[in-house]
Amino acid sequence: MSETIEAGPMRAADGTPLKKSLARALRRQKLRALALIAPLLIFILVTFIAPIADMLFRSVENQIVSDTLPRTVVALKDWDAASDEAPGEPVFAALAVDFQIATELKNHTKLGSRLNYEDPGISSLFRKSGRSADDIGKSFMDRFVGIDAAWKKPETWAALFGDDVWLADATAWADAKDKDAREPAFKLRDGVGDALPATAETYRTFARAVQAEGRKGLVETKPWPVLFTALSQDLTSATPEALAALTDVDTALLQQAATAVAGTEPFAYRDAFLAIDKGWGDVDAWRTIRAYSPRYTPGYFLNAIDLEKGADGISARPDDQKIYIKLFIRTMWMSMLITFSCLLLGYPVAWLLANLRSSTANLLMILVLLPFWTSLLVRTSAWKVLLQQQGVINDILVWLGLVDDGNRLIMINNQFGTITAMTHILLPFMILPLYSVMKTIPPSYLRAAKSLGATNWTAFWRVYFPQSVPGIGAGSILVFILSIGYYITPEIVGGTQGVFISNRIAYHISTSLNWGLAAALGAILLAVVLLLYYVYDKIVGIDNVKLG
């Protein structure tokens, strides 16, 4: 580096090498340009890209299972999901700790509703079990308190698991009763995590929850029953040496408890859970938990294309639940139909607008824009009044004698209704780009063509039409993309055969709260649109699209 500077022949006025100086100037310019667009860029990133990315991320995200039941998920790895028997004692022992913590943190029902999307019935299994989950912990608590009443006291636990310095601070804080000060953040005692891993972890969760609530200090809060469950499990597996290695704590208390625990019958976790709810013996529930234990899942995407992920891999959904593929195809097909009918109706109107005297054209333009400015719901409801069986159109047809009163036409609550109403609603999006493109086509071209002997049709088809293609492209893209995302109009006039995939997305977002599935459906829809856009670009060429 230093060599180049010494050898560099060209230098700027201030003595720096010219190359460097130029690069710096260029960089400064680029930064300035970036700073100018930064507000817009940040705005788009924050309000548009980030929420979409976040929403799409939900379609694969599945951390709730392993976050809520961490030990159970690990223990379940050894269980053979193909077997017809529910998992054994170790899994239920892990579940006892996980589930009680989840109920204390009120996470169990969240997990229940997540898993219920995959296996109906789990949500009430989790909800009902939550009410009596700490029965397990309480039976352990009774055992420990029977050994030594000190186990009941919060101080015993704080002294056992808290760092000495923290303990002194926390005790001082509790004595001071200063309402504004917060309890010093909990710190785990060194070494206790090795000797009593599950209990230390549980106590840390307990400490975090108590301190987050901030009403009472740790040294004053009654220990959760689950702590006794965890401690019992730890003491069963802990070696006497590991316990002896703990210094500065009441090892005698622990040793005494360990001896007592070793002397009693092992606790029957499985029976305890089955006593709470028979559902815990259901193999399917366990298969679901196991199948959905990874942190990321293709499950939502599989659901979105009528497949399902079971214990034995991916399979097609039963016929009575297949719906999404059908809806995707229907959405695409009907959107194309709507786009086509918009083009059919919009092209002559745009041509008129572009070629009439400007005073007449302006009047017509207002007629195009007026419905455009009217509320979407009003326009859709108006179609209802027009199209229904006792509606205006049927009444007129009956009055004219074209239709028999008993056989009124069904024009609503079906695909015809959706296509009619949406064509009307989206028509301006076709007319406006067409109009602005046609406005730029000089009328003299047509006259020239005719003067050279072309018929009206040839002049239009060979001269005028090719020049209006960019407007058709722009209008079609606009109408098509808008229509695949529509859901209000299909919901109101579509009946059962005229609804779109967006109606299901809206349902999963706002009613079933299955945001993962909604995100997967949305991601697929987005991918299909991008694919169509690519195909369109290859065929028509996106440079050929003009909005004016």
Q: Looking at 17, 70, 121, 197, which residue binds another protein (CB under 8 A)? A: 121
Residues numbered 426-465 forming contacts with another protein, rule: CB under 8 A: none
Given a contact cutoff of 8 angstroms between Cβ atoms, the answer to whether 354 and 346 are in contact is: no
Given a contact cutoff of 8 angstroms between Cβ atoms, the answer to whether 257 and 250 are in contact is: no
Phi, psi of 380 (to 5 degrees): -65, -45
- Taking alpha carbons only, the member of 326, 294, 324, 291 closest to residue 309 is 291
- Our CB check for another protein shows the closer of 111 and 432 to be 111
**Angle, in degrees to the nearest 10, between helices 324-355 and 501-510:** 120
Cα 9–chain centre separation: 60
- Our CB check for another protein shows the closer of 268 and 385 to be 385
- Our CB check for another protein shows the closer of 116 and 423 to be 116
63 lies in the site for another protein, by CB under 8 A: no
- Taking alpha carbons only, the member of 151, 128, 155, 127 closest to residue 138 is 151
Phi, psi of 307 (to 5 degrees): -115, 170
Secondary structure element (H or E) that encloses residue 314, with its range:
strand 313-316
Q: How far is the CB of 198 from another protein (least distance, A)?
A: 25
Secondary structure element (H or E) that encloses residue 315, with its range:
strand 313-316
486 lies in the site for another protein, by CB under 8 A: no
Given a contact cutoff of 8 angstroms between Cβ atoms, the answer to whether 65 and 289 are in contact is: yes
514 lies in the site for another protein, by CB under 8 A: yes
* Of 39-47, 89-97, 105-113, 253-261: span binding another protein (CB under 8 A): 105-113
Residues numbered 393-422 forming contacts with another protein, rule: CB under 8 A: 413
- Taking alpha carbons only, the member of 225, 275, 309, 293 closest to residue 92 is 275
- Our CB check for another protein shows the closer of 255 and 414 to be 414
Core vs surface per residue 137-157: b (16+ CB within 10 A) or e: bbebbebbeebbeebeebebb
Return d(Cα 330, Cα 483) in angstroms, integer.
12
326 lies in the site for another protein, by CB under 8 A: yes
Q: Looking at 53, 510, 527, 542, which residue binds another protein (CB under 8 A)? A: 510
Given a contact cutoff of 8 angstroms between Cβ atoms, the answer to whether 518 and 509 are in contact is: yes
Given a contact cutoff of 8 angstroms between Cβ atoms, the answer to whether 126 and 106 are in contact is: no
Given a contact cutoff of 8 angstroms between Cβ atoms, the answer to whether 108 and 129 are in contact is: yes
320 lies in the site for another protein, by CB under 8 A: yes
* Of 115-123, 255-263, 287-295, 476-484: span binding another protein (CB under 8 A): 115-123
Given a contact cutoff of 8 angstroms between Cβ atoms, the answer to whether 223 and 206 are in contact is: yes
321 lies in the site for another protein, by CB under 8 A: yes
323 lies in the site for another protein, by CB under 8 A: yes
Q: Looking at 11, 187, 322, 546, which residue binds another protein (CB under 8 A)? A: 322
107 lies in the site for another protein, by CB under 8 A: yes
By DSSP bridging, strand 313-316 and strand 307-310 are antiparallel
* Of 110-118, 221-229, 250-258, 341-349: span binding another protein (CB under 8 A): 110-118
- Computed from CA positions of residues 479, 482, 484, 490, in that sequence, does the dihedral angle turn out positive or negative? negative
Q: Looking at 70, 154, 298, 495, which residue binds another protein (CB under 8 A)? A: 495
113 lies in the site for another protein, by CB under 8 A: yes
327 lies in the site for another protein, by CB under 8 A: yes
* Of 9-17, 251-259, 470-478, 502-510: span binding another protein (CB under 8 A): 502-510
132 lies in the site for another protein, by CB under 8 A: no
Q: How far is the CB of 230 from another protein (least distance, A)?
A: 23
String of DSSP letters for 98-163:
HHHHHHHTT-HHHHHHHHHTTSTTHHHHHHHHHHHTHHHHHHHHHHHHHH-GGGGSHHHHHHHHB-
Q: Looking at 388, 415, 418, 423, which residue binds another protein (CB under 8 A)? A: 388
Q: How far is the CB of 187 from another protein (least distance, A)?
A: 27
Q: How far is the CB of 110 from another protein (least distance, A)?
A: 6
288 lies in the site for another protein, by CB under 8 A: no
Q: How far is the CB of 389 from another protein (least distance, A)?
A: 6
491 lies in the site for another protein, by CB under 8 A: yes
Q: Looking at 79, 92, 117, 328, which residue binds another protein (CB under 8 A)? A: 117
103 lies in the site for another protein, by CB under 8 A: no
Q: Looking at 82, 241, 496, 543, which residue binds another protein (CB under 8 A)? A: 496
- Our CB check for another protein shows the closer of 388 and 468 to be 388
Q: Looking at 139, 467, 512, 544, which residue binds another protein (CB under 8 A)? A: 512
310 lies in the site for another protein, by CB under 8 A: no
Q: How far is the CB of 351 from another protein (least distance, A)?
A: 39
182 lies in the site for another protein, by CB under 8 A: no
112 lies in the site for another protein, by CB under 8 A: yes
| Cα dihedral 108/112/113/119 (nearest 10) | 170
Secondary structure element (H or E) that encloses residue 308, with its range:
strand 307-310
Return d(Cα 327, Cα 490) in angstroms, integer.
12
Residues that bind another protein (CB under 8 A): 106-107, 109-110, 112-113, 116-117, 120-124, 127, 319-323, 326-327, 388-391, 413, 491-492, 495-497, 504, 507, 509-514
